[in-house]
Structure 1
Amino acid sequence: MPIALRPFPVLLLLCVVCLLCVPRISYAVPSFYRQSGIACNACHTSFPQLNALGRDFKLKGYTLSTGQSTAPPLAVMLQPSFTHTSEGQPGGAAPGFDNNDNVALTQGSVFYAGRLFGGFADKSPLLGKFGAFIQTTYDGVEKAWSWDNAEFRFADSASTEKHKFDYGFYLNNSPTLQDLWNTTPVWSYPYSGSGLAPTPAAETLLGGGLAQQVAGFGGYVWLDSSLYLELGGYDSLSASVQSDLGVDPEGEAQIDNPAPYWRLAKEHAWGAHHLEVGTFGMAADTYPERDSSAGTDHYLDIGMDSEYQYAKGRHDVTVMFSGLRERQEWDASRTLGLAENSSGALWTLAATGSYFFDKTYGVTAQYFRFGGDTDMLLYADNRTYSPDSYGWILQLDYMPLNKSGGPKFWPGSNVKFSLQYTRYNKFDGAGRNYDGSGRDASDNDTLYLEAWLAF
């Protein structure tokens, strides 16, 4: 029987086919560094956290190039890790793992990241305006491959007598993947974490509830290097397409009609300082658990964010704030017995500060909080029926190759060694010394060691 695909998924699949048809030149495997000649520390304070140059590179569609390499921009990432939780998890942290003190390959990824048409873009000004960031990932906990972050861009610039602006169009598979700042969900801190430690169950649509399940198309304008405006829309991929790409569609919310997404941000730069203030959001009607028999639920997500950066000499400072509130109307879920209440709310906030010295040593601290209305059916898996969680994350980083640009035999390679500690004051409604049965918040405190290798 033929498979019915919606317009957004069809467009995405056509782009994937075009990418796979690009000829490969095999004598080199360049990354962004090999394509542009720009070292990692020029675009990042600590990868993947962007600075001003990194945001400009992304804004222009990943297409900046010296023209020295004609090979496709391929890269590889590995994240071996060790996880210790305050109390072990009976039955194992995951299938095939012990209750505690687990070593794993958190993930391994292969990227096609740079000019979409590789070295062939040098032969055509038009081809040189197309870029891509395509990631496929092996999950060492689930022991499975799937597609990950995927984005195609067209970017160009123009000017009038009084104004200059960059503009572009994107096609991607996760809302906020396209964003320039590290304050929206896809690229927000923590940039990596254990797949073998408990994490709060509550999740907003924009906070990750649609990641890799959708196809979205939109456009943006960056006016006078100050005002950023973006409009887009997202629609769910069919269950069969998701399964073919390694994503399990069971239990997910399926978007009924393309859901509008918006982003507005203002950035002001003076000297070594950059300050951004913005808002973002999405409205979506969805079929709960992909069941259309009872109509739709409705979500309205509205976020506010701000980022301050100071970069001068051997010092890099970043302070970020993000808050997201989701209004939920459970008309369909209540009819299907999936929610007790007819409406509710869920909100998240995070305040993060980081300091990096000499592009080598870093410390990052974050306060995070999830809150919302209780519901005996939505949150039936925890004994408080509550989404409330809050706590702290402290992370130390060491990047020995960040200044040198990697070893001579593989330039552009980098590595980050991280020690991350997460403390929960409340976890899914339970406090640190809750007297009820089951796990207390403190049982989920996590020590996570990781080596992040990129080459």
Structure 2
Amino acid sequence: MVGMIDLTKAVLAGVRRATAFWGAAPSALLLALVVNCGVADKAAAIPAFARQTGQTCSTCHTAFPQLTPFGRRFKLGGYTAGGGDTKDLPQLSFMLQSGYTHYNVGLTAPTGNYSSPPGGGFNGVNNYVDLAQQIAIFYGGRIYGNLGGMLQATFSNSSSRDFAIDNSDIRYADSFKFYNHDVLWGLTANDVPTMQDVWNTTPVWSSPFITSAFSLSPVANTMIQSFGPGQTLGGGGYLFLNDTWYAELSAYGSLTPKAQLTLGIPGSSVGPAISGLAPYYRVAMEQNWGDHSFMIGAYGMNANVTPAYSYGFGTDNMYDAGFDSQYQWITDVHAVTIRANYIWERQLLNSSFAQGFSANPTDYLRSLKIGAEYVYNNTYAFTATYFQITGSPDAVIFSQNAFMSPNSSGWIFDLAYLPFSHGGPDLWPWFNTRLGVSYTLFTKFDGSATNIDPTNCPYCRNANNNNTLFVYALSMF
């Protein structure tokens, strides 16, 4: 394995020296596919799970990482279900993600929200090729008895080139009978709110499932959407009654900036500082009948936050209330999934307002995401997602925004080919890969559809200038 990694590094270095960013897409992406087949953003279809259960990826996923009802029960059961053969293989898996990113219009000046573009570079550059955008290692499955987990560490080839702890979840789960009711219960410890969730609606596992490290994103996001892996540590307990009713209560606290840096989180990504513990709740009802399943649920988080780690001025209070739903129709050949998620956030900015970090003592944000996906034979997947964020204008929080507004909206389309969902090649049957193309279309960006950076004309941009094409290859082995 070390030799393969060294060889891969040498190949990547040679390609980077031999090709410029623009005009390099065809040859670079071809090499990415060769490297992937020879040998993240969000990934959960790890081969260790397939080895442990003896199932193909299509049993747990419609198109990884989206879960089927079986996949959701596997996760709720603590990642411990067996049926396969793991005696001679460690519960380790690896991931390589490569990609080509193209802006509709290249970035031309270090101004406004574009002072630090992803990956760096100006002068009209609008093509980014990265053959090793992410390299990850996973431990997944049963640890001992009813204890299991999924632990991930990822190298991200962004401007800071970090190797850091990523989405991780450890569980203990068991079941019992209460009169005539089936009760599944569990304890979870994880490093980011909603990491433990089993539906593909809440922030960590929602669309887009694979993203580019070089794409631009609107400034505004709700608190529960803003936390990254390794910024918090939390845990709690859950119950799943009669395979229908789900309830969870957890709590999260922030790791110190020093602890986050120790875990590999770059200083620029250190998240909000939760003061004390922030309670998190999740309730859902899922009904399954025949080939159909339907879920409706709610979740939320209430946190006292110290803005910018500036102590001595009290705290802000952030309350997020989320509502979500998911419908699935899954047969041997066809799979249709429809999802909806809405988050309402109230920000009581007592500390921020006192320190001049906000123009208003109270702000609000609203985040909406609606999407649908069709998968044919677990091999071809098409996803369309509409996203929108709206809220209170704030002249300080959005000071780099010409309209001082958080309002953004758009569409994300993804077309993917998954050749090994029903089983990998004979040489390594647990190999899986996803080859795809994604397009993000902005109808509004940071407050407007046009002139979103008018103070810097002739470099002012329209929302659709930030439209992004992303061609990717993600492999798990």
Q: TM-score, normalised by structure 1?
A: 0.88
Match of 1:386 in 2: 405
Distance 1:252 1:42, change over 3 A: closer
Distance 1:350 1:156 in 2: 34
Q: Deviations over 1:337-364 (max 9, x none)?
A: 1111101001101100000111111111
Distance 2:57 2:95 in 1: 14
Distance 1:301 1:263 in 2: 12
SS in 1 for 2:198: coil
Is the 2:55–2:84 Cα contact (8 Å) retained in structure 1? no
Match of 1:408 in 2: 426
Is the 1:433–1:442 Cα contact (8 Å) retained in structure 2? no
Give the residue type in structure 1 aligned to 2:51.
R
Select the residue among 134, 137, 140 that pairs with 2:157. Answer: 140
Distance 1:379 1:328 in 2: 15
Select the residue among 348, 352, 355 that pairs with 2:371. Answer: 352
Q: Deviations over 1:261-286 (max 9, x none)?
A: 00000011111000000000000001
Match of 2:227 in 1: 209
Say if 2:244 is the partner of 1:226. yes
Give the residue type in structure 2 aligned to 1:149.
N
Gaps of 5+ in 1: 1-28, 117-126
Select the residue among 420, 428, 438 that pairs with 1:420. Answer: 438
Say if 2:205 is the partner of 1:183. no
Say if 2:82 is the partner of 1:55. no
Q: How far apart are 1:67 and its partner, in Å?
A: 5.8
Distance 1:130 1:84 in 2: 43
Give the residue type in structure 1 aligned to 2:375.
F
Q: How far apart are 1:375 and its partner, in Å?
A: 0.7
Q: 299-308 or 133-142, which moves further after superposition? A: 133-142
Aligned residues: 416
Match of 2:344 in 1: 325
Distance 1:386 1:85 in 2: 23
Q: Deviations over 1:286-312 (max 9, x none)?
A: 100111111000000000000000001
Distance 1:241 1:201 in 2: 26
SS in 1 for 2:133: strand
SS in 1 for 2:168: strand
Match of 1:20 in 2: none
Say if 2:124 is the partner of 1:102. no
Q: Deviations over 1:356-389 (max 9, x none)?
A: 1111111110111011111111112221111100
Q: How far apart are 1:95 and its partner, in Å?
A: 3.0
Q: How far apart are 1:434 and its partner, in Å?
A: 6.0
SS in 1 for 2:107: coil
Give the residue type in structure 2 aligned to 1:279.
A
Is the 2:443–2:464 Cα contact (8 Å) retained in structure 1? yes
Q: How far apart are 1:209 and its partner, in Å?
A: 2.9
Match of 2:33 in 1: none
Is the 1:354–1:362 Cα contact (8 Å) retained in structure 2? yes
SS in 2 for 1:55: helix
Select the residue among 154, 160, 168 that pairs with 2:172. Answer: 154
Is the 2:137–2:153 Cα contact (8 Å) retained in structure 1? yes
Match of 2:383 in 1: 364
Q: How far apart are 1:136 and its partner, in Å?
A: 0.5
Distance 1:415 1:154 in 2: 30
Distance 1:342 1:298 in 2: 11
Is the 1:77–1:109 Cα contact (8 Å) retained in structure 2? yes
Q: 272-281 or 62-71, which moves further after superposition? A: 62-71
Distance 2:126 2:370 in 1: 29
Say if 2:37 is the partner of 1:34. no
Q: How far apart are 1:30 and its partner, in Å?
A: 6.1
Q: How far apart are 1:325 and its partner, in Å?
A: 0.8
Say if 2:359 is the partner of 1:334. no
Distance 1:332 1:225, change over 3 A: same
Give the residue type in structure 1 aligned to 2:135.
G
Match of 2:114 in 1: none
Q: What's the C-alpha RMSD, in Å, of the aligned pairs?
A: 1.7
Q: 157-166 or 293-302, which moves further after superposition? A: 157-166
